[in-house]
Structure 1
C-alpha cells in the first residue's frame, strides 16, 4: 500500500467535469472575443490544440480500459491456474507480461502530463496577449456605467467567496490525508500477520476490500478500523459538500463575468479573458489527475513485481503454495471484481473525452462576428445551461491506494 493517499476505483471520473467544462469555456471566450479578429484566431488555435490533446487522452484511457480487462480476463485466470497446478514459473511469466502492459501505460500517461503542461503554458500566453490587447482598447472607456460597476462589485464578492471555499476544501483535504495515512499504517500492520490480507493487498490496489477483510477475519481490532473509516467517510462527505458549493459559486461567477463581458463588448472594449483563465484551471486539474493515474499504475507495477519476487520465486515457496492456495484464489476473485469496476470507470472517462474530441468544438465552425445579438445571447444561454448541468462530483468515495 501507499504511504500517503487512498483513492476510489472511480477516481479517474474526476476528469469528467473539467473535460466537459473546458470546451464550454472556450466557446464563451470565442463568443466574447471573437469580434476581434486577432483574438479570434488565437482562441481558435488554442481550442484546436486542446481538442487534439483530448483525442490523445482518450487513447490513453482506452489503454487503461484494455489493461484492466487483460488483468481480469487474462492475468488473473492464468495466475489462478498456475496456483492450482503449483506452477510458480508460469506465474512469474504471466506477471512479467503484465509488467510490459503497465510500463506501456506509464510511458503514455507521462507523455500526456507533459503535453498538458505545454498546453497550459500556451493558453497562459494567449491570455497574456488578450490582456495586452484589452489595455489598448480600454482607453475608449472613459467612465463605467452603473450597471458595470454593480456587476464588478458582484464579481469581486463571488471571487472572494470562491477563494474562501477553496481554502476550506484544501484544509479538509489535509485532514483526509492525515486519516488516510493513519488508516493505511493500521492496515499495513495488520497485514503483516495475515497471509490472506497480504495477498489481497498486492492484487487489489483498493483499500475497501482490505477493510472488509479486517471486519471478517480480525474482529478484535475492527473497532479502530471502523473508527478511522467512519472519520474518513465523514471528512469525505464534508469535502463533497464544499466541492458542490465551490462548483455552484463558480457557475454563478461565470454567469456574472459573462454579463460584464457583454457590457464591455457593447462599449467596444475587449473584455477580460476570465474564461481562458478558467480553461487553464481545468487543464491543470486534468493534468493533476493524470499524474495520479501514472502514480497509480506505478504502484500496481511495484505490487506485481513484489508478488513475482516474494511469492513465486525460490524452490521453497513452491511447497508453500499448497498452504497459500485458498487465500490466493479468494484474493484473485476479489481482485477481479474491483479491477472490473476500475476498467468500467476508465471506459466512461474515455467516452467523455471521445465526445469532447469529436463534437464539443463544433462551435469553431461558426464565425462569431456573423452572429446577431439575439443569436449570440442564444449561444450564451445554451452554454450557461450546460455548465449548470455538469455534475461536479465526478466519482464516488470508496478508496484506492496510491
Structure 2
C-alpha cells in the first residue's frame, strides 16, 4: 500500500456528508473479523492470529474516534468563532480582525492534517499485518495436505455458481466505476461553468454583480461540491445562465440515479453469493479442509477503504486551509473581501451565513462517524471473549447467521456501496 495521496482515487468531499462513507466499512470490518474467527477459530494457531489482528484494529478505531471528535470541534469553531468574526470584520471594515481569526483557523486545520496523516500510516501498517496473517493461514493450509481434500460433485457445482456470480459483480462494478467517472467529469464541468460566472465583470447591473460576488465568496469558504452547485442554482434563478446550469444538473441527477441502481444490483448479487458461499464453506469443513482466509481479504478491503477516505479527509482539510490562507493573504493586501465590500456587504454576509449551514452539516456527519467508531472500539469485538472451539454446532450456526444478517442489513442501507461481505472457499 502506497503511503501517499496516490491511494486516493477521487474527491469524496462532494458534500458535507462525505465522511459518512467511513461508516459501512468500519461496521463491516468487525463483522468480517467475526466470520473469520468462527470459520478458523477451531485451529488454535489461526485463532491467535485473528485475535491479534482484531485487537489491533479495535485499538486503531479508538484513535479514529478521537480524530473525528477533533474534526467535530474544528467544524464547530468555524461556525461559532470564525464565521461570526468574518461577518463582524466586514460590518466594521476591520481586515486585521479577520486576519486574527483566519490565522487561528489555519492553525486548527494544520493540527488536524498532521493527526490524520499519523492515523493513515497506522492503517497502512495494519493492512500489511492483515495481509501477512492471510499469508500465514495459507501456509498453514499447505501443511495440512494429508487431510482429505477431494472435492465432491456438489462442491464443484457450487464453485461454478460462485464463479458466475463473481463475474456478475465484476461487471456491475465496472459499470458503476464508469458512472462515477462520468459524475466526476460532470461535476468538474459544472464547477468550471460556475467559475466562469464569478469571473465575468462586463455586466453593469449592480444586482447581477451582487449575486456573482455572493457566489464567488461562497465558493471560497465552502469546499463541498454539492452545496456549491445548490447555491449556484439558487443564485442564477431568473437569469440567462439558469438554463445552462439546469442542463448540467439534470445530467448529474440522472447519473446519480444510475449509480444508486447499480449499487442495489451489486448488493442483490452479493446476497446470492453469500448464500452459496455458506453452503460451500460447510461442505469443505465437513470434508476436512481448512477454510480459506477470504474474510480477512475482505477485512483488508474495508481497511483500505477507510484509509482512502481518511486520506481524502486529509486532502479536504488541506484544501480548506488553502482557501483560508488565500482569503487571509488577499485580505492583508487589501485586494479582496473586506476593504472593497462597501457596496456588497449584504451579499458577503449572506454567503457566510449559508456557509455556516454547510459546515454545521459536516460537523453532524463527523459526530455520527465518531459514534460508530466509538461502538467499534468498545463493544463490537466482544466475540473475542469466547473461543469458537467451545461453541456447540447450534451455537456456532446461530452466531454465523446473526453476523450474516447484520451484513445483509448493512449492505441494504443507503450509506455507501458494499464490499463483498462473505467468504469464498
Report the TM-score range of the alignment, normalised by the length of the smaller protein.
over 0.9
Distance 1:303 1:322 in 2: 22
Change (3 A) 1:29 1:216: closer
The residue aligned with 1:399 is none
SS of 1:220 mapped into structure 2: coil
Distance 1:111 1:316 in 2: 36
Instruction: Pick the aligned partner of 1:132 from 118, 133, 139.
Output: 139
Distance 1:117 1:326 in 2: 48
Change (3 A) 1:102 1:365: same
Residue 122 of structure 1: CA displacement? 0.8
The residue aligned with 2:61 is 54
Distance 1:23 1:62 in 2: 21
**1:1-400 superposed matches below 5 A:** 5=11, 7-193=14-200, 194-218=212-236, 219-314=239-334, 319-390=339-410, 391-394=412-415
Distance 2:226 2:295 in 1: 39
Larger deviation: 20-29 or 187-196?
187-196
SS of 2:93 mapped into structure 1: coil
- Deviation string 1:3-52 (CA, Å, 9 cap, x unpaired) is x8561111111111111111001000001000111110000000011111
SS of 1:140 mapped into structure 2: coil
Residue 318 of structure 1: CA displacement? 5.7
- Deviation string 1:333-385 (CA, Å, 9 cap, x unpaired) is 10111111111011101111111111110000001111111110011111111
SS of 1:165 mapped into structure 2: helix
**Equivalent residues of 2:187, 2:225 under 8 A apart:** no
Change (3 A) 1:317 1:288: closer
Residue 247 of structure 1: CA displacement? 2.7
Larger deviation: 210-219 or 90-99?
210-219
Q: CA RMSD in A?
A: 1.9
Distance 1:140 1:160 in 2: 31
Distance 1:356 1:110 in 2: 21
Between the two proteins, the alignment pairs up a number of residues equal to: 393
- TM-score normalised according to structure 2 size: 0.88
Distance 2:235 2:149 in 1: 75
- Deviation string 1:103-149 (CA, Å, 9 cap, x unpaired) is 11111111121111111111111111111111222442242223322
Distance 2:256 2:319 in 1: 23
- Deviation string 1:77-97 (CA, Å, 9 cap, x unpaired) is 111112111111010010000
Distance 2:78 2:338 in 1: 23
Distance 1:377 1:215 in 2: 54
**Equivalent residues of 1:247, 1:392 under 8 A apart:** no
- TM-score normalised according to structure 1 size: 0.93
SS of 1:320 mapped into structure 2: coil
Residue 150 of structure 1: CA displacement? 2.6
Larger deviation: 5-14 or 274-283?
5-14
Residue 315 of structure 1: CA displacement? 8.4
SS of 1:190 mapped into structure 2: helix
**Equivalent residues of 1:25, 1:275 under 8 A apart:** yes
- Larger helix proportion, structure 1 or 2? 1
SS of 2:380 mapped into structure 1: coil
Note the residue ranges of structure 2 that are not aligned, 5 or more in a row. 1-9, 201-211, 418-425
**Equivalent residues of 1:202, 1:303 under 8 A apart:** yes
**Equivalent residues of 2:222, 2:358 under 8 A apart:** yes
- Deviation string 1:226-256 (CA, Å, 9 cap, x unpaired) is 1111111211221122122223333432343
SS of 1:163 mapped into structure 2: helix
**Equivalent residues of 1:83, 1:321 under 8 A apart:** yes
Note the residue ranges of structure 1 that are not aligned, 5 or more in a row. 397-402
Distance 1:130 1:316 in 2: 61
Distance 1:317 1:35 in 2: 67
The structure showing larger relative contact order (alpha-carbon pairs under 8 Å, at least 6 residues apart) is 1
Residue 209 of structure 1: CA displacement? 4.2
**Equivalent residues of 2:90, 2:338 under 8 A apart:** no
